[in-house]
Amino acid sequence: MKAQYLGLVGDVGGTNARFALVDTDRRVRNLHVYQAANYASLTDVIDDYLERTMGKRRPPRAVIAVAGPVTDGEITFTNLHWQVSEGDLLAHFEFEAVKLLNDFAAQALACPRLDPEDLKPIGPAIRGGGHDCPIVVLGAGTGFGVAGLARGPLGDLAIATEGGHAGFAPTDEVEVEIWKRLQAKYGRVSIERLLSGQGLFDIYRCLCELGNTDGACANEKAVMEAGAAGDAAAGAALDRFCAILGSVAGDLALSFGARGGAFISGGIAPRMADRLAASQFRARFEAKGRLSHFVQEIPTALVLHPYPAILGSARELEQMERL
């Protein structure tokens, strides 16, 4: 007997396109990862996946997380020559329903469902505020993503944002000097200018200039490798990155009223989990002056699950089915 499926779920970024099926027991099955650049369009990738997994059959619904803002059911990818709309996917595949959602919004939906082994607590694991309170998810990679999750008895509502483009606020003289250099280079300095792959490298270069040293690292990957190997300049850049991440996470927790927790995701932080846990991240998270008592009760955790946007898309699929 052939398996029955609730629908197709996906997580599509500038590099990889991941797809899976959700069966009638709410299990995610048949995960496959594609190199997006090898395909002319998203429909080509989905065609390949469905032919591989289902033959001529089609699932009734689809929820696909995408890296970027979704406007009126459409997205134009930054790093791919793809433009995708829910209407085009409905017409091409004859789904009953299709939803595109921001990838960090999908991750926000996933966080309440993650198992303990999928999370690394950073600092005290205090559950003040209860499980029905808002949460916030943030993370650095190619850019900096932010999403919130409003929780209620009828279900959870993910709130996609462009919070990574909010302005960066330095907290000490070193960060003021970093801000000055980035302002001269870029103009306006957003959070993403520091908390991203390029941002990590820019922090490294700025610290080398401030210390009158010639940095040997040529890119952010080299900074991470050198820091892990004990290089002092690279280590200082990584520690500063972690500290700034803590300040930003605390600000976002205040902005969202995220008593349910602040979850750190993205491509960079999980690669330096131990350093992040030992850094000033939590101290900077809590350093909010008159509101320090508020954030001290908010748990923070690093997301270790490799495919949180797939899990979040599956959860959105479940919520669609109940409507």
Q: Binding site for ATP: what residues are annotated?
A: 10-15
Name the nearest CA neighbour of 37 among 17, 52, 53, 18: 17
> Which residues, 6 or more positions from 20, have their beta carbon under 8 angstroms from its beta carbon?
8, 9, 10, 28, 29, 30, 31, 32, 310, 314
Task: Calculate helix-pair angle for 220-228, 232-256, nearest 10 degrees.
Answer: 110
The runs of H, that is alpha helices, within 121-219 are 173-186, 197-210
Looking at the DSSP bridge assignments, the partners of residue 126 are: none
Known binding-site residues equal 10-15
Helices (H) and strands (E) in the chain, counts: 11, 13
Look at residue 307 and give its three-state secondary structure: coil
Looking at the DSSP bridge assignments, the partners of residue 147 are: 137, 160
Amino acid type, 34: Y
Question: Across the beta sheet with 28-35, what order do the strands follow?
Answer: 28-35, 16-23, 5-12, 61-66, 97-102
Task: Calculate helix-pair angle for 173-186, 232-256, nearest 10 degrees.
Answer: 90
CA angle 208, 239, 102 (to 5 degrees): 110
